[in-house]
Amino acid sequence: MMSYPVGMTSVPDLESLRLLVLIGEWGSMGKAAAKLGVAQPSVSKRLATLERRLGLPLVDRTRRGSSLTPAGRIVCGWAERVLKEVEGLLTGAEALRTEREAELRVAASMTVAEHLAPMWIGELRRKQPRLYVGLQVTNSETVAELVRAGEVDIGFIESPAAPAGLSTRRVATDRLVVVVAPNHPWARLRKPLSTAELVTVPLVVRERGSGTRETVDRALLRAGAGQVVPLVELGSAAAIRNTVIAGTGPAAMSELTVASDLAEGRLAEVTVEGLDLRRTLRAVWPAGRKLVGPAAALLAAAIRGR
């Protein structure tokens, strides 16, 4: 069952959040109503419901127009982020749904597909609304294989090294962090863990072929600490996250994936001395081939999003 903060019986609906953003943008409830295609009395009622639900005054109403209160400006910023995430969810779901009939075929590793690709595809679709994009989500090794085989037009990987036989371009950077449940002994350490100590404890890991697994293996090799001892191998970041939260064992995960869990105390980060877990996220396509059309446009959107 979903739980909410004290005093809040339900989360605000998306249309109310869009309304608040539009009022902030236009400084007018009338213009916000016109943009939403509803009557102004309905907008006033919806806004009053939102303010009552959050327990905050969000908009100052005057004869000259409407402006956000200080609290309203803060909530508006949060609302914009929520709406952007929802747009990414819908765009990503549509890309998965239209994979077989796609005009642009894309493959992406788990981290990229979950956190970045939907935003890039969304930007592309806003400029080319009739474009159908198909997205395959798999590990980095399989993404490279799909690109080599010509089964996709462009791929995105998180492997620490560029794969042979493919053209590449950096589109983002990422960092893995070692995380544990808050009640794990490592969560109470007062000094960094050594790499030697890290490899003595079995970790919850991704399968071989994933960029995350390869990044950890290479980082430990550079540090002269040996190899990871797998406690359990899982095929997705979500499965690893839930397993670590349940207290099964430590894991190294993308900072993109666990940022909210660290901020809200569901996971704790463990500093490991001398272990560099930074990595480059790359676009890949067949060597010697120039990207054109939608594939080139998607790459440009990814680079702008850095």
Q: For the domain covering 85-171+281-304, report its CATH number.
A: 3.40.190.10
Domains 14-81 and 172-279 equal at CATH topology level: no
| Mean pLDDT within 182-196 | 93
Beta strands 230-234 and 251-254 are unpaired
| CATH number for region 172-279 | 3.40.190.290
The owner of tokens 């191998």 is: 233
More confident residue, 37 or 169: 169
Mean pLDDT, to the nearest integer, of 221-233?
88
**What's the mean pLDDT in 265-271?**
95
CA distance 207 to 225: 20
Average pLDDT estimate for 31-43: 83
Look at strands 272-273 and 193-194 and give their pairing: parallel
How crowded is the C-beta side of 107, counted as CA atoms within 13 Å? 21
Query: Whole-number mean pLDDT of the chain?
Result: 87
**Helix (H, G, I), strand (E, B), or coil: what is residue 135?**
strand
Query: Any idea where the domains of the chain sit in the sequence?
Result: 14-81, 85-171+281-304, 172-279
What confidence score (pLDDT) does residue 97 get? 67
CA distance 28 to 24: 8
pLDDT at 6 over 50: no
CATH code 1.10.10.10 for 14-81? yes
